[in-house]
Amino acid sequence: MTDALSKPMVGRLALIGIGLIGSSIARAARARNVAGEIVVQTRSEATLKRAEELNLGDRYTTDMADAVKHADLVIVSIPVGASEAAAKAIAEALKPGAIVSDVGSTKTSVVRQMAPHLPKDVHFVPAHPVAGTEHSGPDAGLKDLFENRWCILTPPEGTDEDAVQRLADFWRALGANVETMLPEHHDMVLAITSHVPHLIAYNIVGTAAHLEKVTDSEVIKFSAGGFRDFTRIASSDPTMWRDVFLHNKDAVLEMLGRFMEDLAALQRMVRYGDGDGLFELFTKTRAIRRNIIESGQDAPDVDFGRHRATQEGEPAAE
């Protein structure tokens, strides 16, 4: 790892977009001395001002082309639907040999949108750090957001190996583990581990909000029965998630189809009182939780740590 006295891994880092992910990269890069200089770009004057107040970079601009000039590494962290416009805006200003990457949750679409517009003398290495929270904007960034999370690289065929390696090193320096796969496979994996879970969380919160027989006030009061967990995910950034579903349609529809088919089977077990079938499914699903905790992808804290005081043996509040 880089220590405070050695030369930073990246000379100039340009961040296009400074929301949850962009500002987490800025904070992590600072904390770990990974970049010599950080240029922050966002199109909103107010957001840029906020980023400056938070001291997230060394230079600030609303202009994408201006931001990427002389940058060694450019990371585009914006809703995936805006990728093509960003590629067009930065293309001519990019330094030969620069690495251009992104953090989008869908990869075939990002490759399709950006690759045709980028000059041949830069290295385009799409990436997706699988990490986040339900909050958004520059204030939401966390410098340890990528710690022990996975960052997936999806370099198009023929990408310079050295550039891929340098981007992998960058993400490792930010605390992440790195895996490489094809964009199409990435989109299928994320459809089941992220996109469909978000869709059904949004959906049940929507269903609960539109009932005649149960009031919103009751839904809120009795949400500790399980519902409240879904509301966390369903409070994620609407623009980002709209774009995810518009740009990973095929994989989402495939995985959603599987989910709905399985749910119909489960509905049938409930209707016909198939207790053995229910019990069998409910037993199998425990093993996956155990594996996620053992692999360090979630904390073992009971109920997400909501009962921390008691676990530590302190008296409960009275």
* 53: contact with a copy of itself by CB under 8 A: no
Least distance to a copy of itself, CB of residue 42, Å:
20
Near a copy of itself by CB under 8 A: residue from 32, 76, 108, 183: 32
SS3 169: helix
| 178 alpha-carbon distance from chain centroid | 14
Angle between helices 249-271 and 275-294 (to 10 degrees): 140
Near a copy of itself by CB under 8 A: residue from 149, 155, 170, 183: 149
Near a copy of itself by CB under 8 A: residue from 134, 156, 162, 165: 134
Q: Which stretch binds a copy of itself (CB under 8 A): 48-56, 63-71, 162-170, 192-200?
A: 192-200
Q: Which stretch binds a copy of itself (CB under 8 A): 46-54, 108-116, 117-125, 306-314?
A: 306-314
Instruction: Judge residue 247's burial from the number of C-beta atoms within 10 Å of its C-beta, 0-12 exposed, 13-18 middle, 19 or more buried.
Output: buried
| 25, 31, 37, 43: CA torsion to nearest 10 | 30
* 120: contact with a copy of itself by CB under 8 A: no
Q: Which stretch binds a copy of itself (CB under 8 A): 5-13, 57-65, 142-150, 158-166?
A: 142-150
* 279: contact with a copy of itself by CB under 8 A: yes
Q: Which stretch binds a copy of itself (CB under 8 A): 38-46, 58-66, 156-164, 281-289?
A: 281-289
Paired tokens of 100: 């251009």
- Residues contacting a copy of itself: total by CB under 8 A: 125
| DSSP-assigned letters across all residues of 209-236 | HT-SSS-HHHHHHTGGGTHHHHHHHTTS
* 6: contact with a copy of itself by CB under 8 A: no
Contact string 226-255 vs a copy of itself (x = CB under 8 A): xxxxxxxxxxx-xx-xxx-xx--x--xx-x
Q: Which stretch binds a copy of itself (CB under 8 A): 8-16, 36-44, 50-58, 261-269?
A: 261-269
Near a copy of itself by CB under 8 A: residue from 38, 130, 163, 164: 130
Least distance to a copy of itself, CB of residue 207, Å:
5
Paired tokens of 279: 């019990």
Which one, of 187, 114, 125, 190, lies nearest residue 162 by Cα? 125
Least distance to a copy of itself, CB of residue 80, Å:
12
Residue 41 or 105 having the CB closest to a copy of itself: 105
Q: Are strands 123-124 and 99-102 parallel, antiparallel or unpaired?
A: parallel
Instruction: Judge residue 4's burial from the number of C-beta atoms within 10 Å of its C-beta, 0-12 exposed, 13-18 middle, 19 or more buried.
Output: exposed
Query: Is 75:69 a contact under the CB 8 Å cutoff?
Result: no
